[in-house]
Amino acid sequence: MEKTWRWFGKNDNITLAMLKQIGVEGIVTALHDVPLGEVWTREKIHDLKTYIEGYGMRWSVVESLPVTETIKYGGPDRDEQIEIYKQSLRNLAAEGIHTICYNFMPVLDWARTDLLHLNPNGTYNLYFSIPQFAYFDIYILKREGARESWADFKVLGPDGKPNGRDVLKEVDELRKTMTPEKEHQLVENIVIKTQGFVSGNFKEGDEHPVELFRQLLALYKGIDRDQLRANMKYFLEAIMPVCNECGMYMCVHPDDPPFQILGLPRIVTSDADIDWFLHAVDDPHNGLTFCAGSLSAGAQNNVVELARKYASRTWFVHLRSCYVFPNGDFTEASHLGGRADIIELARIFEKEEAKRADDPIIAQLPMRVDHGMTMLGDEARGYNAGYSFLGRMFAMGQVQGIIATVDRELGKKYHQPGFFD
């Protein structure tokens, strides 16, 4: 697999020169300066592409070309936004960029409640606490019906079965010790620090992020799981002719976390969901970003079996792993541990890549490590949440070693970029 890295553009504190030294071959990025809902012009695409190529790497994957909320909930300007999306696809293809990672998660992209959760070894990882998130929903967001929905929420333990956890009891206990400072931190973690640099819906400095959040949620009133599925199908059917014309490979990212939150439907969470969207628009250009981390956060998922089943429709791989606690909370695990079994995933996807050698567009299967530890001072360097340098470099080293070993098993020659051999 092609070793790639998510990079947030020329203003990223992590430079391309740094990435070249650690064996990165391809860059995963986006035009972060283009406002939501506007066309990505060839000029802007070309400028960033040539900048990346100047460091001996290629722009391998767009993550993301955002799907605006109006496309997701089916707003009055949906068709106009789809036409803008199609033009951006054409412009990317004209510049030789053919793989597009996107998501169809309403309002909230990936969610965590603690961005610096202490590990036993002194490093930090992302963490999702179910009662803390429920507290945010009930007492900060004050969503109508929130308490009732959390009363009905069935928490799964690591075995994938309901563990009987009483979320509301824990929320009420949490309320006794909650302070304005802790509430502010929850808003920062759930809304600002994890959404601002990925979705474009929120940004640092928003004066009333909770009210903005409520306004976005209101757009989905009456949108259930079936309707959101219908809207995703509508979008995919509309763009597939352009994808076929230009050789564009769309790969949806699974929902993170892979279960319903905030009363919003989540429709890419499991085997059944993946099977549905691949068959709803049964075109090879409609594919999957296989995010082992998002999928392993759902105790209902057997990640290795999902990889075996859907490898042939996977156009992008995220190698990370989550650990689900007995109480149902989850955290990022070591890239050698957790529920994902990255060693076996590497075997599956290295074999899949070998089948594609005759198609130059998809001959390389891009892979990036994801959500590395925060370690050795990463927390003081201004990196985006989950996207540390040293932590991801550590994970990249682990994964490079895995791939080199798997390649030897398969009789493939492994090459480590940046050396004479």
Q: How confident is the model over 199-210, as pLDDT tens digits?
A: 556 555 566 889
Domain positions in the chain = 2-109+224-410, 114-218
Q: What is the pLDDT of residues 292-350, one digit of tens each?
A: 999 999 999 999 999 999 999 999 999 999 999 999 999 999 999 999 999 999 999 99
Range with the poorest average pLDDT among 31-40, 130-139, 204-213: 204-213
In the structure, what pLDDT confidence band is assigned to residue 25 with cuts at 50, 70 and 90?
very high
Residue 198 pLDDT:
53
Residue 240 has pLDDT above 60, yes or no: yes
Please say whether the beta carbons of 70 and 221 come within 8 A.
Answer: no
Residue 418 pLDDT:
84
Stronger pLDDT, 152 or 195, i.e. the higher one: 152
Collapsing DSSP to helix, strand or coil, 218 comes out as helix
At residue 331, φ and ψ (nearest 5 deg) are -140, 165
Residue 370 pLDDT:
84
Residue 7 pLDDT:
97
Give me the half-sphere count of Cα atoms (radius 13 Å) on the Cβ side of residue 156. 17
Range with the poorest average pLDDT among 195-204, 262-271, 400-409: 195-204
Query: Which residues are known to be catalytic?
Result: 253, 291, 318, 370-371, 387
Quote the mean pLDDT of the chain.
94
Residue 353 pLDDT:
96
Read off the tokens for 102.
């996107």
Say which residues have a Cβ less than 8 Å from residue 282's Cβ, sequence separation at least 6. none
DSSP 8-state secondary structure symbol assigned to residue 190: I
Q: What is the residue type of 368? A: R
2-109+224-410 fold? TIM Barrel (3.20.20)
Range with the poorest average pLDDT among 46-50, 132-136, 205-209: 205-209
Residue 384 pLDDT:
86
Determine whether 168 is exposed, middle or buried from the number of CB atoms within 10 Å of its CB (0-12, 13-18, 19+). Answer: middle
In the structure, what pLDDT confidence band is assigned to residue 64 with cuts at 50, 70 and 90?
confident
CA angle 331, 332, 337 (to 5 degrees): 115
The whole-number average pLDDT for the span 254-263 is: 94
Please say whether the beta carbons of 191 and 210 come within 8 A.
Answer: yes
Distance CA 303, CA 295 (A): 6
Please say whether the beta carbons of 126 and 331 come within 8 A.
Answer: yes
H helix or E strand, kind and range, residue 45: helix 42-53
The whole-number average pLDDT for the span 347-373 is: 94
